[in-house]
Amino acid sequence: MRRVAATSDTRAVIEGMHRFDLRPVRPIGLNTPQLRTIAKGIIRTNGLDQALAEELWQTGIHDARVLASFIGDPAEITRSTMDKWTRDFASWGICDACCYGLFDRSPHAWKQILKWAAGPGEFVRRAAFATIAGIAMHDKKAADRVFLDALPLIEKYAFDDRNFVRKGVNWALRNIGKRNSSLRVAAMECAERVRAQGTPAARWIAADALRELRARG
């Protein structure tokens, strides 16, 4: 990416990242709408460009990595590249940009979810549940069965009280419940089982999910 001179606007963007605990690494200070505009220009000219996305990722620059998530090709990205990027996650913003628009559309998504959920890293585990949340939101043709099968994974890791993991687990549970009335009932039943685990993380995940899902009834 071309070098961008620091301005009051870019400094404000970077300060905002820190306020929201985005932990940007080597940020330039471009905001999301600016990065989406750049991505649209690339896609309009070249289509999705996995090779360029991987070059951008290698820079280690926060803004470049967000841009990589916008132009990466879910049909071309490999499982090894998905694993590598996931290990590089240093913030929830980068994690979610990749999982909620690229990884969730990959044919490898569910295999990766199972692997990442078992990983010890905070953002690796979040990646599993952010990807579930993305699939639940974006894959309109997916059968209910795949989401019912994901609920035990949510129950299994609801104990993890790390902030970005518990929020990811909660996000996945809420998005599953918002797909349709049958999954809403199943997600609420799952939330009750999670609450019964009794840990602080589980109680928070359940309470927040039930609040939203009940409101949709």
42 CB-near residues (< 8 Å, 6+ apart):
49, 52, 71
The verdict on residue 128 lying in a domain is yes
Residue 194 lies in a domain: yes
Is 149 exposed, middle or buried (CB count within 10 Å of its CB: 0-12, 13-18, 19+)? exposed
Which residue type does 120 have? Answer: P
Could you give the percent of the chain with pLDDT greater than 90? 84
Whether residue 99 lies inside any domain: the answer is no
Q: Does 94 reside within a domain?
A: no
Pair 13, 31: CB distance under 8 Å: yes
| pLDDT tier at 3, thresholds 50, 70, 90 | very low
Q: Is residue 177 part of a domain?
A: yes
pLDDT digits (tens, 9 = 90+) for 186-204: 999 999 999 999 999 999 9
Residue 9 has a pLDDT of 57
R_g of the chain computed on alpha carbons: 18
Which pLDDT score is estimated for 28?
72
SS3 of 79-102:
HHHHHHHHHHCCCHHHHHHHHCCC
Reported as a single tens digit per residue, the pLDDT across 6-32 is 455 555 444 454 444 455 565 677 999
What number of helices (H) and strands (E) belong to the chain? 12, 0
pTM for the model stands at 0.89
How much is the pLDDT for 14? 43
Q: Are 46 and 117 in contact (CB under 8 A)?
A: no
Quote the DSSP letter at residue 216. T
Residue 62 lies in a domain: no
Q: Is the residue at 14 inside a domain?
A: no
- CATH of residue 216's domain is 1.25.10.10
26 is a domain residue: no
For residue 132, the enclosing domain spans 108-217
Q: Is 50 exceeded by the pLDDT of residue 167?
A: yes
Check if the beta carbon of residue 214 is closer than 8 Å to that of residue 188. Answer: yes
| Site of tokens 């890791």 | 157
The mean per-residue pLDDT over the stretch 139-166 comes to 98
Residue range 48-92, pLDDT digits in tens? 999 999 999 999 999 999 999 999 999 999 999 999 999 999 999
For 141-168, what is the mean pLDDT?
98
Question: Are 100 and 134 contacting, i.e. CB atoms less than 8 angstroms apart?
Answer: yes
Distances (CA, A) of 177 to 102, 136, 141, 159: 22, 9, 16, 20
CB atoms under 10 Å from CB of 30, counted, come to 23
**Count: domains in the chain:** 1
